[in-house]
Amino acid sequence: MNSETGPTGPESEVRPWRSRTRLIHGDGHAAEPHGAVAAGIPLSTTFLRDERGELRSPFVYARTNNPARADLERRLAEISAGTEAAAFASGLAAANAVLQSLDAASRVLLGRDLYFGVKQLFRVAGTRAGHRIEEVDWSDSAAAKTALAKPAALVWAESPSNPELKIVDLAQLATLARGAGAIFVVDNTLATPLGQAPLALGADLVLEACTKAIGGHSDVTVGGLIVRDQSLPLWARVRELQNLAGAVPSPFDCWLVIRGLSTLAVRQREAVESALDLATQLARNPAVERVLYPGLPSHPGHAIAARQMTHFGSLLSILVRGGESAAARVIARVRLWSRATSFGGVHSLIEHRYLVEGVGSRTPPNLLRLSVGLEDPRDLREDLEAALRSD
Ligand code: PLP
């Protein structure tokens, strides 16, 4: 199912609602008492039983499930063309649920360029749990074929990747992963469900760090896992761990993410347009060695990205001419861009990833990561160009 034409809403027999509409209305299940148009936040941690001990609703206790989380999970599943979703207290808590769901001594293959935190989680906790963790450059299809000639339990990819914006042919990797008997997880955080539909390309599970563009305002940490087929045996373990380990978001956090979803389409449209414009301008700047952005035709993964994405995202990286010290000088000189980690929010952020990642980082020392927000793109460009000037 294409995310543009999803299932029919409850009262629209005639034509299916499009994704932007569904982001606002959900699937129509969230019937509010008093006819409230905006979703409320049911905060109760516990739910009534009647005299016979029967529950009045599907809810028992908030960690196990609650109305706000169930609403968010339905919306995430729906917009991602999945059958079910599970929400966690952060993107990493969601990744950890996958890790903890593996059989003992599993062979785990991670993309070489991957969000540092996910990589560290698998390296530290995965290795401690006895799994064999390997890294493969999924943008190199020969390397992918060699790695998946042997059986594996889990294949984990990001496309576009963070922070090098590498592109992976997701349909091709899905076929290879299936051949190796592996569960294929795609971290879709940079693209968002509106920019790319990995489940439709053959992924088994998708991770969305809602902390980023979905939440959209840098004020909530939530992670979502979405499954293509809820009968996947690992999914039952993920669900079990959601309750057993309890790394769940609060109802208020779920509500913030639901609110973020309702404006995702317009925020993304603006931010992606600004990012493409900025990338194009920076590619002509003599102080910039290279711009890493899949929307540029010069990007090695551009053709694949154009095929499998509906937009190229609002994150880009630049390699500053002159090495680490030149990059440090640029970041010290910006006035409008906020020097902070993260991405996908309304504020534009700039970060020297190599310094932040520290020991074990493979990120080029002269890389600056730029998260394009919703400020006037002319201000963003002028500020960065002034910081890049050598005077
Ligand atoms: N996936 C990607 C691509 C990320 O960049 C991040 C965080 O930066 C995460 C997952 C983890 O999300 P969270 O910070 O909510 O744990």
Residue 352 forms beta bridges with which residues?
368
The structure tokens listed for 287 are: 């102080």
Q: Is the dihedral of CA 312, 25, 256, 379 positive or negative?
A: positive
Ligand 1 residue neighbourhood (C-beta within 6 Å): 90-92, 115, 117-118, 158, 162, 187, 189, 209, 211, 221, 223
Would the CA dihedral through 22, 28, 32, 34 be positive or negative?
positive
Ligand 1 centre to CA of 47 (Å) is 32
User: What are the strands of the beta sheet with 349-352, ordered from one edge?
Assistant: 288-292, 315-320, 367-371, 349-352, 338-339
Closest to 322 measured CA to CA, from 377, 271, 261, 368 = 368
Phi, psi of 370 (to 5 degrees): -120, 120
From residue 384, alpha-carbon distances to 92, 279, 333, 354 in Å are: 31, 11, 9, 19
pLDDT confidence of residue 31: 56
Compute the distance from residue 11 Cα to the ligand 1 centre, in Å: 36
Set out the domains of the chain in order of their start, with CATH numbers. Answer: 23-258 (3.40.640.10), 264-388 (3.90.1150.10)
How many Å separate Cα 161 from the centre of its chain?
10
Nearest CA to ligand 1 atom 11: 91
Atom of ligand 1 nearest to the CA of 341: 8
Those residues whose C-beta lies under 8 Å from the C-beta of residue 51, and which sit 6 or more positions away, are none
Predicted confidence at residue 32, as pLDDT, reads 64
Atom of ligand 1 nearest to the CA of 209: 12
Taking the CA atoms of residue 305, residue 308, residue 310 and residue 314 in that order, the dihedral angle to the nearest 10 degrees is -40
Task: Give the C-alpha separation, 338 to 347, whole Å.
Answer: 7
Distance CA 264, CA 270 (A): 10
Ligand 1 centroid – CA 24 distance (Å):
24
Low-confidence stretches of the chain (pLDDT beneath 50): 1-10, 12
Distance 175 CA to ligand 1 centre (A): 26
Residue whose Cα lies nearest atom 14 of ligand 1: it is 91
Query: Whose C-alpha lies nearest to ligand 1, atom 5?
Result: 115
Residue nearest ligand 1's atom 8 by CA: 342
pLDDT of residue 3: 40
Task: Kindly report the backbone phi and psi dihedral angles of residue 302, in degrees, each rounded to the nearest multiple of 5, phi listed first.
Answer: -60, -45
The preferred substitution site among 161, 187, 206, 211 for testing ligand 1, maximizing ligand atoms within 8 Å of CB, is 211
Q: How far apart are CA 114 and CA 159, in angstroms?
A: 9
Whether omega for the bond prior to residue 294 falls within 30 degrees of 0, making it cis, is: no
Among 115, 341, 351, name the best residue to mutate to test ligand 1's pocket (greatest count of ligand atoms within 8 A of Cβ). Answer: 115
User: Closest residue (by CA) to atom 13 of ligand 1?
Assistant: 91
Q: How many CB atoms lie within 10 A of CB 103?
A: 9
Can you list the alpha helix ranges (DSSP code H) found in the chain?
19-25, 67-79, 91-100, 116-121, 127-128, 141-147, 170-179, 192-195, 233-245, 251-282, 302-308, 323-333, 353-357, 377-388
CA 256/CA 216 separation, integer angstroms: 9
Q: Whose CA is nearest to atom 9 of ligand 1?
A: 91
Q: How far apart are CA 9 and CA 143, in angstroms?
A: 44
Ligand 1: centre distance to CA 115 (Å): 7
Q: Which two tokens stand for residue 3?
A: 């995310």
Measured from the Cα of 161, ligand 1's closest atom is: 3
Q: pLDDT digits over 197-254, tens only? A: 999 999 999 999 999 999 999 999 999 999 999 999 999 999 999 999 999 999 999 9
Q: Which amino acid is at 87?
A: A
The string of DSSP codes covering 234-251 is: HHHHHHHHHHHH-----H
Question: Which atom of ligand 1 lies closest to the CA of 158?
Answer: 3
pTM for this prediction: 0.94
Give the pLDDT confidence score for residue 342 in this predicted structure: 97
Q: How far is the CA of 223 from the centre of ligand 1 (A)?
A: 8
* Residues designated as active site: 63, 115, 187, 212
CA of 185 to the centre of ligand 1 (A): 14
Q: Are 115 and 273 in contact (CB under 8 A)?
A: no
